[in-house]
Amino acid sequence: MVRGMEEDEAETWRRGDAPPSRGADSEACRADRARGKLAPCQDVLLSPSSITERSIQAHSGGAAGDCFEVVGDGSALAPTTLPSSLSLLALPPELLTLVAEQLDAHCAASGVRGLDARGLASFAAACSACLAAAHDELRAALHAAVTRCLVPDSGPQVVSRDALVACPYFSLPETLTEIPQRSFQDCTALASLSLPAGCTTIGKNAFFGCTQLTEVELPAALTTICNGAFDGSTSLERLSFPAALDKIGGWAFQGLTSLVEVDLSPCLGLTTIPYGAFAGNTALAKLTLPRALTTIATTAFYRCISLTELTLPASLVSVGDGAFNGCLALTQLNFREATALRSLGYGAFAVS
């Protein structure tokens, strides 16, 4: 009995064999896409659910992070290892569909009928092209989302800040000159950050309560850090202050319990350390003040209990009430250079 094509195809699928040849734009192929079954090559089936480490190993002959390059005339292949961040398994599910569709069209157009040397070359080429396109697409989408979050009047925010910073390609737009107030307030997913080179201002409470933030690169152009900018960022371990910085707001670095050293000597125009600026930095052991400093305000370094020594600069005129109150380990205090000092506030260096 002669069976129809549909019956033959159904039997082939039941046996787990490769499906019959079909074009990328055929009706059957489109139906497969709708069912989530895609045929990038006649002998390979890929779909978002079927792209697993095992299937990638089976089709490529190597580990999930391996791909193949054509050598010479294409008859020989050499394995190359992609970084884990560029493997198929690293892509989010919505992009795996794009991978499968691109492989389908690429292999069908090249007429490949099996995973021989030519088939592997086609498979590898399609993988590389698709991965590059997918990652570029993700970068562009992420950039647009970050811009919507940070730039006024740039459109509705549709993604949470935690979701944005968790993406592998998260970065701030290079055109950004100011981090708006409360931009990343209480964003616990933020671990490290490099600010754009042209950024001049960090707004009020911009990184308030970012408890997992361990490192932030402050750009050379930065001039202003507003009130509470890094207040409560308890994991922040290191800060390098740029020469252009000339204004720090109150409580800007309060409660940074992991910060061990503060060196403000590069800040040539910084004349005032305001109220509570570095209060409660319990791990702070080394402090270098700027040469142009004239004023240390009330409670500026309150309860920096690990600070052991301090030299006051020649330019210093006044130290506010309780400026170093509660600095229990402070045993070496050098006033020798502070010839301009005229005012010492109540309990400025009290230990209680």
Of residues 88, 185, 184, the one with CA closest to residue 135: 88
Q: What are phi and psi of 147, to 5 degrees?
A: -60, -45
Residue 166 has what pLDDT? 75
Of residues 317, 235, 228, the one with CA closest to residue 275: 228
Residue 141 has what pLDDT? 65
H or E segment at 263? strand 261-263
Q: Which residues in the chain land under pLDDT 50?
A: 1-26, 28-30, 32-86, 114-115, 158
How does DSSP classify residue 83? P
Could you give the 3-state DSSP secondary structure of residue 51?
coil
Cβ–Cβ under 8 Å, residues 272 and 252:
no
Residue 79 has what pLDDT? 42
The HSE-up count of residue 225 (CA atoms within 13 Å, CB side) is 30
Cβ–Cβ under 8 Å, residues 206 and 184:
yes
Residue 139 has what pLDDT? 66
d(CA 38, CA 16): 14
Domain ranges of the chain: 5-139
How does DSSP classify residue 238? B
Cα separations (Å) of 285 from 253, 291, 295?
15, 19, 21
Residue 170 has what pLDDT? 77
Of residues 281, 308, 302, the one with CA closest to residue 347: 302
Q: Which two tokens stand for residue 132?
A: 């590059």
Residue 131 has what pLDDT? 65
Could you give the 3-state DSSP secondary structure of residue 32?
helix
